[in-house]
Amino acid sequence: MAKRKKHDSAKSAILAIIAVCIALALFACYIFYKKKGYIGPQEFTYPTNYEEYVLKYSREYNVEPEFIYAVIKTESSFDENAVSNVGARGLMQLMEDAYSWVKYRIDDQSEYNFDVMFDPETNIKYGTYYLSFLLEKYDGSIDLAAAAYHCGLGLVDSWIESGTIDPQNFSVDQIPEENDQTSHYINKINKAYDAYKSILKEDKNNGEKGSKKQSKAA
């Protein structure tokens, strides 16, 4: 009987040690991903990788970082080597004709070709410029910019010209049923956009709290 109690006690101690090790490993993972740019409780679902480039081109082209992150999340789930079944490449999944158009518009004199879309910074730069163009064209509408990014501005313009959609009072249910993938895309963008607004607001608030504590300490 004594041996059995001793065995049970040893087993409990081992399980306790394993539990502590697991907790420490999870905490280490949390710290690692936090430093890599993941923020808040939604860090694994809505990462904020490539923050340096997102913020840089957000400022340069006047596009909300939340919108840029939402497009990256929806298009590639942050896979810089992603290639779609129609040939779109990189984080923001630009097609070759869109790449060439942006390259001309920003007067990029580099000798790089379409392969450069696998470079995270260049992809985010080009994708953000394209978003800025679409936002300006559609009077700042996230929904219409997202629709045009997904199915092409030519199709969106045809909907507007035919009266199929009302750009002043747009809703996804105005999109023709045969283009329901675009409706689904807009909904995914909005879901991610709202999530990133919450995440980045939390990060900003935490940063401000940290600054205040440092000021008081000084």
- Is 136 a catalytic site residue? no
Take residue 42 and report the two structure tokens written for it: 């939604």
Alpha-carbon gap, residue 148 to 191, rounded angstroms: 18
In contact, 112 and 125? CB cutoff 8 Å: no
Catalytic choice (75, 96, 111, 136): 75
Take residue 100 and report the two structure tokens written for it: 């060439």
In contact, 91 and 76? CB cutoff 8 Å: yes
Q: Which of 98, 72, 62 is nearest to 192 (CA)?
A: 72
Q: Compute CA 28 distance to the chain's CA centroid, rounded to the nearest angstrom.
A: 24
Query: CB pairs under 8 A, 24+ apart, for 123-126?
Result: 123/80, 123/89, 123/90, 123/91, 123/92, 123/94, 124/50, 124/53, 124/54, 124/57, 124/68, 124/72, 124/91, 124/92, 125/53, 125/57, 126/92, 126/94, 126/98, 126/99, 126/102
Cα separation values, 185 from 81, 154, 179, Å: 21, 17, 10
> Side chain identity at 14, as an amino acid letter?
I
- Annotated active-site positions, please? 75
